[in-house]
Amino acid sequence: MNILVLNGSPRGEQSNTLKITRAFLEGISSQKKTNADIVDISKAEISHCSGCFACWQKTPGECVIKDDMQNLIPKYLDADLVIWSFPLYYFGMPSKLKAFLDRMLPTVLPLIELTESGSCRHPSRYDMSGKRFILISTCGFCSVENNYEALLKQFEILYGERLTKIICTEGELFRVSQREKRTGEYLSYVRQAGKEYAMSNCITSDTQRKLSEPLYPPEVFVQMANASWGISDSHEIDERNG
């Protein structure tokens, strides 16, 4: 099984999210022979899409910008499984990863199709029917609500039924050694999720439930997080800012 991991964290190897992704890969490879390629998107040379539409008209399927996307698009197309691994940034994906996504435009056709629900879409230039996708993301807050909605909608539109999600709130706890017992427990559920995914292309509802539970209750987390920044309450912030 060819797996492409798009590591979209600017922290590269130090990414909280990548810890979860690596545990998921361990789970998959314990069941199946895998070949995983982890690409550090933040270090890749990826220019912004210039919106010229040459990839639709002048040079169909090919971008006029010559950079790392020339290698990354074939890797994406060759993979059986693409894992998007990144932190939530302002309710969306980090900007470099968004540049990667925008530069995928050559992989779709200019043709606009109407879907059954009456919305529009561009069909893919390539057969993507056997390909599957996983979204693994961490964030700094303790809730999915009022935080992940925009991103989850974007991925639902992009991949529909072929998408599996692991969303972990309170992600900064993965770098706190005193919290290793709890984060280690979470990573063991992620390994289990990887095993299940290797066997059935999905994660059981029991494991998904464990993955969706916050690492700590909101009140406890907020107190720990504020203490880690040396802040105890909003009053203290006001005082510091004069």
Contact flag: residue 147 with ligand FMN (CB under 6 A): yes
Interface stretch with ligand FMN, choices 10-18, 42-50, 101-109, 218-226 (CB under 6 A):
10-18
Q: How far apart are CA 237 and CA 69, in angstroms?
A: 44
Tell me, by CB under 6 A, how many residues bind ligand FMN: 17
Nearer to ligand FMN, 79 or 168 (CB): 168
Cα angle for residues 80, 19, 153 (degrees, 5° grid): 60
Over its C-alpha atoms, the chain yields an Rg (Å, rounded) of 20
Of the candidate residues 16, 21, 42, 192, the single one contacting ligand FMN (CB under 6 A): 16
Contact flag: residue 183 with ligand FMN (CB under 6 A): no
Contact flag: residue 40 with ligand FMN (CB under 6 A): no
Backbone angles phi, psi at 13, to 5 degrees: -65, -20
Six token digits for residue 92: 């969306």
Q: Are strands 2-7 and 35-40 parallel, antiparallel or unpaired?
A: parallel
CB of 151 to ligand FMN, least distance (A): 9
Show Cβ contacts of residue 239 under 8 Å, excluding neighbours closer than 6 positions: none
Size of the chain, expressed as the number of residues it contains: 242
CB of 140 to ligand FMN, least distance (A): 3
Query: What residues numbered 152-181 form the site for ligand FMN, per CB under 6 A?
Result: 171-172
Contact flag: residue 89 with ligand FMN (CB under 6 A): yes
Contact flag: residue 139 with ligand FMN (CB under 6 A): yes
Cβ-proximal residue to ligand FMN, closest one: 171
Cα angle for residues 100, 104, 109 (degrees, 5° grid): 165
Backbone angles phi, psi at 218, to 5 degrees: -50, -45
Residues that bind ligand FMN (CB under 6 A): 9, 11, 15-17, 87-91, 138-141, 147, 171-172
